[in-house]
Amino acid sequence: IMPVMAKAVLEAADKGVFEAAAAGADTVEGIAQACQLHPKATRELLSLLTAMNYFRYASDRFTLTRSARKWVLRDNPESVYGMMLFNNRVMWQWLDHLG
Model-level pTM? 0.93
pLDDT of residue 98: 86
Mean pLDDT of 88-98: 92
pLDDT of residue 2: 94
pLDDT of residue 10: 98
Residues 6 or more apart from 76 whose CB is under 8 A from it? Answer: 69, 70
Q: How many CA atoms lie within 13 A of 65 on its CB side?
A: 13
Amino acid at position 42, single letter: T
Over the stretch 63-86, which tens digit does the pLDDT of each residue have?
A: 999 999 999 999 999 999 999 999
